[in-house]
Amino acid sequence: MKNYVVENRTYSEFKDKVLANDEEIRGDEFVVFSYAVPNELIRKGVLPRSLPDEMMAALGAYFLTKRAEYNRFQHNFTFRTKQYLTCINGDIHGDFFVQQYNHLPTVSQLTLFGEGDLYKELTEKDKGKLYGHHDYWIEFLKQLVTFCCQEGLDVPYRKNWEEIFYGGKVPSDEPGEVSGFTISCLKNSPRFHKDNPDLMKNCIPRLPGWEEQRECGWIPNEGGIEESQGFISDGNLVYFHKNEEGEVGFARNRYRRANMVFTPDMVEQAIFGTISLIRDGAGRNQSQDPGLLMKNFPYSLYDKKV
């Protein structure tokens, strides 16, 4: 690494750090501040040698972020908002993964058009992830739809899911084994509550004070994605990791940062990606399962905002 920074153009502070040899150099730091990517493009004649340091670093950061979209997983759906890059993945075993990067720029540059955001050096605290077994695909989709209903938001694709995802006809009205129990419970929920009006309805717990929801006839469900727990906070669907004792971390430190965030403007893309991936075999579900969840979800139970 020392030879590289001596022989190639690098960010001055990064070069000093490497030559001092007093701190560990992260891989992402090397990609961005060694200018490894733009240096290679310059050598190939694709870029001019006169680029400013800020642009060299921005190109390295762009490459690092884009690389997250092409990962080792067999199935993936990636979407970007102004603040987050989110990738929903399925591996060869059909297990469930979501990775999220908070890429909101923190470094600015003065341009002809004024001060402009340029790039962000990604660190561990900017990365979030959800892991789950193959049966968590449907659980995640159910939480996205439940979130919309609880917040009084329109559920994306509620009326046109069959046309959008199945060309107008769902392959079967029978769910597969993996999702059969969940879809059956959703399908029968309106009848259960009609026969038992005092029966509590499931919801995603809300922060703060989710215990008080019980007084209104709602019972917060576990809603867990493997080692994480979903909540509604500040109008967003957020996930917190559980600790070794199985307790949610924020219970001991209420101001702990959420591991993953889905804002209302992210839900449509998240639902689209999740349905598409399940339909195309990312999990072990049958292709019709996400459509049957959309069809049989008890929307009427959530007409009143929780």
* Residue from 206, 197, 270 nearest 238 by CA: 206
Q: Structural domain boundaries of the chain?
A: 1-67, 132-302
Q: What is the pLDDT of residue 270?
A: 97
Residue-wise pLDDT tens digits, 216-261:
555 555 455 667 788 888 899 998 877 666 666 665 555 456 788 9
- Per residue in 115-132, pLDDT (tens digit) is 665 666 666 677 888 888
Q: Based on the number of CB atoms within 10 Å of its own CB, is 273 exposed (0-12), middle (13-18) or buried (19 or more)?
A: buried
Lowest mean pLDDT among 35-44, 85-94, 190-199: 190-199
Gap between the Cα atoms of 101 and 83, Å rounded = 8
Confidence of residue 277 (pLDDT cuts 50, 70, 90): very high
Neighbours of 88 (CB within 10 A): 26
Q: Is the peptide bond before 52 cis (omega within 30 degrees of 0)?
A: no
Inter-residue contact 67 to 101 (CB < 8 Å): no
Report pLDDT for 73. 47
| pLDDT value of residue 247 | 67
Among candidate residues 261, 293, 277, 270, the one with its CA nearest the CA of residue 79: 270
**What is the average pLDDT score of the chain?**
81
The two three-digit tokens of residue 236, written as one number: 């967003």
pLDDT band at 289 (very low <50, low <70, confident <90, very high): very high
Peptide bond into 208 cis (omega under 30): yes
Cβ neighbours around 224 below 10 Å, total: 17
